[in-house]
Amino acid sequence: MSASMEAQVRRDLFDQMVLIRTYEEAVLREYHADKKPAFDIGAGLIPGEMHLSAGQEPVAAGVCAHLTTDDAVTATHRPHHFAIAHGVDLQAMTAEIFGRVDGLGKGRGGHMHLFDPATHFSCSGIIAEGYPPAAGQALAFKRRGTDRVAVAVTGEGAANQGAFHETLNLAALWKLPVVFIVEDNDWGISVPRSASTSVADNAARAASYGMPGVRVEDNAVEAVYAAAGEAVERARNGGGPSLIEVHTLRLWGHFEGDAQGYRADLEGVPGKDPIPTYEAVLLEQGVIDDAAVAASRKNASEVVEAAIAFAKASAEPDPATVLDHVFA
């Protein structure tokens, strides 16, 4: 870990990761609260599939630290960490996850379909298919002569999809200001990357398209921050796209309700949790103290619980409005 990084940047990265984890733990709690004793995916205050990002906080925190809300982020079916790190309104996002009228999509989208024009945030539930629209956002930014960038996120399983490769080629060909992020959490639901991917390193695929590619090991937030800083800078300065793969960690199941019987690495997983790891480093180097850690958690908890309360207080959509918003 770099001791030369500004202490405030390191504290911000830590706070961002704590906020994300606190949020995911709260959603986890609310999601399961009324699905007992028998788990029913369609029941409860938060119904439907739920893909939580615990363990992947370093990617979102490290990348989004370089962005403003004028930049675009296109995330995946597992979008919360990037939405939070990019500054999406937490209350409107939570209301959407609860399917309420004050949600980002007025209850039409749900947790895999979060759209926030204020921060140019969007996500897609279809693997790799968020990449092409990100290239289009970058095209719009470039045509208008701005230095805004688009960040496109996928998992490592998506790197075997056609949309991934079509977009890398297009973005490199047109020198678009895009930063492609691959979150390698080792698992495509139950299939390990060794059984799905012909190369050891998806960053190596960037060379096929003539763009820089780097792989960040060990879920290291500061290394993500450094790599993303270079890539965002390159994109802002007209240097075109870059690809960053981060070896990260899916701390929990693919979705809630996933018993993970396939997962041989599960016993060792909690020890790899990036937040206690980073906390220990920052404590040891005197960047934060116990009081700062406690304050970070307290602040996160207050913000998150306020968002949950906001969502619960918001009304459910009126069934009479079911046909609204199909067309503008």
Partner 1 sequence: MTTTTEQPTRRLNTAKAMVEAIAAEMERDENVFVLGEDVGAYGGIFSSTTGLLDRFGPDRVLDTPISETGFIGAAIGAATEGLRPIVELMFVDFFGVCMDQIYNHMAKIHFESGGNVTVPMVLMTAVGGGYSDGAQHSQCLWGTFAHLPGMKVVVPSNPADAAGLMTAAIRDDNPVVFMFHKGIQGLPWMAKNRRSVGPVPTGDHVVEIGKAATPRPGSDVTVVTLSLSVHHALDVAEELAGDGIDAEVIDLRSIVPMDTEAIIESVTRTGHLVIVDEDYQSFGLSGEIAARIAEHDPTILKAPISRVAVPDVPIPYARPLEYAALPTPARIKAAILQQTGR
Nearer residue to partner 1 within complex by CB, 166 or 273: 166
Interface residue list for partner 1 (CB under 8 A): 72, 74, 103-109, 113, 115-117, 120, 122, 124-126, 129, 131-141, 143, 150, 162-163, 166-167, 169-170, 173, 324-328
DSSP state string for 196-218: T-SSS-GGGGGGGGT--EEEE-T
Q: Which helix (H) or strand (E) holds 244?
A: strand 242-247
Measured CA to CA, the distance from residue 247 to residue 62 in angstroms comes to: 13
Q: Which helix (H) or strand (E) holds 9?
A: helix 7-33
Number of C-beta neighbours around residue 115 at 10 A: 15
Shortest separation between residue 196's beta carbon and partner 1, angstroms:
19
Nearer residue to partner 1 within complex by CB, 111 or 234: 111
Shortest separation between residue 34's beta carbon and partner 1, angstroms:
25
Shortest separation between residue 108's beta carbon and partner 1, angstroms:
5
Shortest separation between residue 236's beta carbon and partner 1, angstroms:
17
Shortest separation between residue 280's beta carbon and partner 1, angstroms:
41
Nearer residue to partner 1 within complex by CB, 237 or 321: 321
Measured CA to CA, the distance from residue 314 to residue 280 in angstroms comes to: 39
Q: Longest Cα pair distance anywhere in the chain, in angstroms?
A: 58
